[in-house]
Amino acid sequence: MRLFLLFCIGFSLLATFSFSQTEKEGLTHFLERKKQTLSPKEHALVYSFYEERNFQLIWITDTQPNQLAFDLKESIAQIRFDGLNPEEYELSEIDRLFQQFLDRKTPPNQKDLLELEGLLTLSFYRLIDHLKFGKVDPAELSGIWDLKKQREPAVILDFLKRVTGFWYLSNLLEEARPSLSAYAAGRKTMMELELELLHAAEEWDEIRLDKVLKLGDRHPKVPLIDQRLRKLGFGFYSWLDSIPDLYDSSMWQAVRRLQVDFGLEDDGIIGKNTLTALNASPKTKMQQLAVNLERMRWIPEGMLEGEKVLVNIPDFKMAYLDGADTLFSSDVIVGTVRNKTPIFSAELSHLIFSPYWNVPNSITRNEIVPAVRRDPSYLTRNRMEIISAGRVVNPSAVDWNSRSFPYWIRQQPGPHNSLGLVKFMFPNSHHIYLHDTPAKQLFFRQNRAFSHGCIRMKKPLEFALFLLREQPEWTEEKVRTAMTQTVETEVRLSQKIPVWIMYFTYWSDDQGKALFKNDIYGLDEQLWQKLQE
């Protein structure tokens, strides 16, 4: 009897070893076939992961997909709410294999079991990769994104190693997602829009107009516009509605609310941009959400921590945040489509009161030199001076018709100065900074893309006082005095503050409501196309 038991134990161990060898051979063969989908480093990491486990399977138990496998399959199906395509993660093939094993009409095929194991592992790896670092490399886009987040295969592998320690795989995937409240709100909005699309797809026809509509105009498309405004949550029913084709005051107010929500000029005039907002179907908004969720996945770790200045270009706003709490905010003016404000980060280190404006070479060459040729008094009227080797040069000594211009121009401090009375410096390779402006009237506009790239503030005095709140020697009186001098005054901050210049055409408010903004630089479409590849 003892000999029989020893024989059985030995046979069992031999069978286990043989099965492990089969798994090793099957998974090795699978990884070799899928080599083109992984970099050499990633391939080596996944192989070493299984090697460390002695090729013990993760997703298969007793020749059947286990609970982790079911959780992963469901998570892949739900990834569409992150703006990603489930088919990128082999959902159809995984579904086919699942169905085959659950059918139970034929005994499980070990080759197919190992195929499913490998597919689930690579799909999980790709899911974590895309959720943690983004699917698209921003360097591939012909744009202005200059924020770098290093893709780290070792971090992805760590998630893979932790799979078996979770009862619910969704909790582990949640760790890979950005911890921004706007990201979670975006996923929720994506679910709502999908339902809306299912119920209203056939009714969402594009509204077209043959002319611009203003308050008091009559047009046969007015009832359709009224219906669309109500569907979008901006219109309301009124007992005064008596002339169906009249663009009346109640609709005008609704259009203005729509324009404000989309960051448009709130003049109530229905032109090209307002029509685009009216025609923003659930599908259009889902695409806009998808590209912005991808941008959030590009954000480097640490952006959400501590105190920081955040500028969102399409929203024309800046905020000083501590964690998620807003301590200060201001409207801003950003670069034009031709002179785009770049997307980057730096550290705010000092302020300069009563600054000179050192005119960039491009502005000197393209704007100022031609202006002086037309009007020799241009420099004097604008309090500008020519500098060479640190000395002021008389304009009459300059050959303004020469092709070369070996000088630089600066504008003297004062209320006329293009930088206003103060600038906020965060040294960077783009030569971008925050500053005051004498053109205060531009802040009455909703679309505020007017600068050469730098960021103009509506509330520069208030921001200076806020930044210097822990430097008591800088009283309000002293700050105001420093802002009205004929010489510059530089003030170092007691600590450097991270500055993030961002580009989001979707964000959410404190209540989680989705806010869609106009894509002023036309960057969304290019990224959407990349997400489809």
- Single pTM value for the model: 0.87
27: enclosing H helix or E strand: helix 2-33
DSSP 367-407: IIHHHHHH-TTHHHHTTEEEEETTEEE-GGGS-TTSS----
Q: Cβ–Cβ contacts within 10 Å for residue 27, how many?
A: 21
- The two tokens of residue 243 are 């002339």
d(CA 130, CA 446): 35
Out of 143-157, 232-246, 484-498, which region has the weakest mean confidence (pLDDT)?
A: 232-246
Q: Cβ–Cβ contacts within 10 Å for residue 506, how many?
A: 23
Q: Which of 262, 292, 260 is nearest to 277 (CA)?
A: 262
Which residues in the chain are classed under CATH 1.10.101.10? 205-280
Report the pLDDT averaged over residues 259-271.
Answer: 87
CA distances from 461 to 350, 476, 494 (A): 14, 9, 18
Q: Is the pLDDT of residue 2 over 80?
A: no
**Quick one: pLDDT at residue 128?**
96
**Quick one: pLDDT at residue 23?**
80
Q: Active-site residues: which are they?
A: 435, 454
For the chain, the distance separating the N- and C-terminal CA atoms, rounded to the nearest angstrom, is: 65
d(CA 91, CA 112): 15
Here the contacts of 28-33 (C-beta below 8 Å, separation 24 or greater) are: 30/114, 30/115, 30/117, 30/118, 31/118
| Interval 33-91: pLDDT, tens | 877 777 888 888 888 889 888 889 999 988 889 999 999 999 999 999 999 999 999 99
Query: What percentage of the chain carries pLDDT values higher than 90?
Result: 66
Q: How confident is the model at residue 470 (pLDDT cuts 50, 70, 90)?
A: very high
Q: Is the pLDDT of residue 469 over 60?
A: yes
Amino acid at 464: A
Q: Was domain 205-280 assigned CATH 1.20.1630.10?
A: no
What lies within 8 Å, CB to CB, of 190 at 6+ separation is 80, 81, 82, 83, 286, 289, 290, 293
Rounded to 5 degrees, φ, ψ at 368 are -75, -45
CA distances from 141 to 132, 243, 311, 364, 528 (A): 19, 50, 21, 30, 11
d(CA 237, CA 116): 56
d(CA 107, CA 113): 11
**Quick one: pLDDT at residue 426?**
98
Helix/strand/coil for 258? helix
d(CA 492, CA 420): 19
d(CA 43, CA 25): 15
**Quick one: pLDDT at residue 20?**
66
Out of 230-239, 352-361, 399-408, 503-512, which region has the weakest mean confidence (pLDDT)?
A: 230-239
d(CA 182, CA 407): 48
Q: How confident is the model at residue 425 (pLDDT cuts 50, 70, 90)?
A: very high
- The two tokens of residue 373 are 């040729």
What lies within 8 Å, CB to CB, of 53 at 6+ separation is none
Out of 169-173, 221-225, 261-265, which region has the weakest mean confidence (pLDDT)?
A: 261-265
**Quick one: pLDDT at residue 242?**
65
The class of domain 303-356+415-502 in CATH terms is mainly beta
Amino acid at 194: E
What lies within 8 Å, CB to CB, of 38 at 6+ separation is 46, 122, 125
CA distances from 20 to 61, 110, 163, 196 (A): 13, 12, 20, 50
Q: Give the mean pLDDT of the chain.
A: 89
Report the pLDDT averaged over residues 456-485.
Answer: 97
Q: Which of 116, 86, 78, 89 is nearest to 100 (CA)?
A: 116
Rg for the chain (alpha carbons), in Å? 31
Q: What is the DSSP letter of 55?
A: T
| Interval 132-163: pLDDT, tens | 999 999 988 877 899 988 889 899 999 999 99
| Interval 112-139: pLDDT, tens | 888 999 999 999 999 999 999 999 999 8
**Quick one: pLDDT at residue 34?**
78
Which residues in the chain are classed under CATH 2.40.440.10? 303-356+415-502
